[in-house]
Structure 1
């Protein structure tokens, strides 16, 4: 599900079962990230799938990338793998005005 930044962040902030997932490359992740995010690079192909399979599918995932394209794809893959809730951040971190580290 695609969410605008304000709704994405307010949902996450109120979600005790929420996990922020960054699907950018390691280099992108190291340059700046949303606090508390875990990183699984979607460009790793099958490795991305393996890493997703290690995650708890009952949690709610708040997914982002640079502009919202890769994270949208990642949400689709997660839904196919049986994840109940994956929210895509529209505009990605490039349009993010929330906290970063």
Structure 2
């Protein structure tokens, strides 16, 4: 499901079962990420699928990438793998106006 930043954030903040998932490359992730995000690179093919399958399907996933394209694809994959709640951040981190953690 695609959510605007306002909806994504308000839903995430009210969700005690939430996980933020960054599907960009490790290099992109290391340039800055949304607080508490875990990084699983969608470009890693089968390794991406394997790592996603290891996640708790009972949690709700708030997914983002640079612009919203890769994360939309990641949400589709997650839905196919049996994750009921995967929420794509429209516009990705490029349009994010919240805090960005720089490692």
TM-score grouping bracket, smaller chain normalisation? over 0.9
> TM-score, normalized by length of structure 2?
0.97
Within 5 Å, give how 1:75-90 maps onto structure 2.
75-90=75-90
> Any stretches of 5+ residues in structure 1 without a counterpart?
none
Structure 2 match to 1:22 = 22
Secondary structure of 1:74's aligned partner: helix
Q: Which portions of structure 1, spanning 4 or more consecutive aligned residues, are displaced by more than 6 angstroms?
A: none
Query: How many residue pairs end up in the alignment?
Result: 101
Secondary structure of 2:100's aligned partner: coil
Structure 2 match to 1:73 = 73
2:37 equivalent to 1:44: no
> TM-score, normalized by length of structure 1?
0.99
Secondary structure of 2:21's aligned partner: strand
Aligned Cα RMSD in Å?
A: 0.3
Question: What is the CA-CA distance between 1:99 and the residue it aligns to?
Answer: 1.3
Secondary structure of 1:27's aligned partner: helix
Question: What is the CA-CA distance between 1:100 and the residue it aligns to?
Answer: 1.0
**CA distance, structure 1, for counterparts of residue 93 and residue 72 of structure 2:** 13
**CA distance, structure 2, for counterparts of residue 79 and residue 94 of structure 1:** 24
> Any stretches of 5+ residues in structure 2 without a counterpart?
none
Structure 2 match to 1:60 = 60
Structure 1 match to 2:4 = 4
Secondary structure of 2:19's aligned partner: strand
